[in-house]
Amino acid sequence: MGPLIYGTAWKKEKTADLVVQAVIAGFRSIDTACQPKHYEEALVGEALKRLEAHGIQREELFIQTKFTPLSGQDPQRIPYDPTASLEIQVAQSFEASKRNLQSHYVDSLVLHSPLFPYKDLITVWKAMEKIYYSGGAKILGISNCYDLELLKKLYEDATIKPSVVQNRFYRESDYDKELRQWCDTKEIRYQSFWTLTANPHVLSSETIVALAQKYGQTEAQLFYRYLCHIGITPLIGSTSAQHIAEDLAIFEFELEDDEIVRIREVLESFVV
């Protein structure tokens, strides 16, 4: 998994072109889902084939997809049998992902959101573990999990521990401060999404604006660089070649320790 992930949600018919553009520019990690409501997973697969013509092989890329429970699916476009057991739903969803991606494996398989009651969550996780044991997924993870106690229980009960937590990065969850601290102790990679959209107040803060000017970067670049400094892997959904180039350029400078502290204080100041 690279320090940045290219997110493909809501890209629709432009998905293949945008993935090709992002990877040629330098991205090597791609996030998708078997959820036709928001993702065109098959077009990610088309992009992977097109990239081979550019000399970029599947094995060079980190591909992450998700099993999306029924509650997150479009009732008219469910990629598995909604009447089947949870175990079969997971298996059918993964088979669809393999067909879509034209790949016999994924690097990361993520549960798109927790299920309730908890026994359903564990049932789905065990089904994902079967995929892991078969070689279909190299690591497992969970998304939209903001309850630290729930995450701890899953970690305790799972045979294959979650390696990824992918959450919305916003002030309503206190930026997952405690959850991220716990993830660090377990070497779980925290991936952020909605990183810019949810934080215009941060991007326009005096601290971010001043530091962006100091380093000759955009506010978005400055914020992404901060997140990478503190161990967060941002999902980035830029669609323009200029923004993609700017995203990848954030590793050309480093923030000083006191500047990292100042930006953290900005986030903390907005938490209710």
The sign one gets for the Cα dihedral 195, 2, 140, 183 is: negative
Residue 215 within a domain: no
Q: If we measure between CA atoms, which residue out of 33, 23, 97, 9 comes closest to residue 61?
A: 23
Number of domains in the chain: 1
- Domain boundaries, position 33: 5-199+227-238
Residue 127 within a domain: yes
Please, are residues 86 and 62 in contact by the beta-carbon 8 Å criterion?
no
N residues, the chain: 272
Q: Read off the CATH number of the domain in which 52 is found.
A: 3.20.20.100
Residue 204 within a domain: no
Question: The pTM is what?
Answer: 0.96
Residue 183 within a domain: yes
pLDDT at 78: 98
For 123-173, the pLDDT digits (tens) are 999 999 999 999 999 999 999 999 999 999 999 999 999 999 999 999 999
On the CB side of 130, CA atoms within 13 Å amount to 14
- What lies within 8 Å, CB to CB, of 123 at 6+ separation is 86, 87, 115
Residue 259 within a domain: no
Residue 173 within a domain: yes
Residue 254 within a domain: no
pLDDT at 271: 87
pLDDT at 272: 72
Residue ranges of the chain with pLDDT lower than 70?
none
Residue 251 within a domain: no
Mean pLDDT of the chain: 97
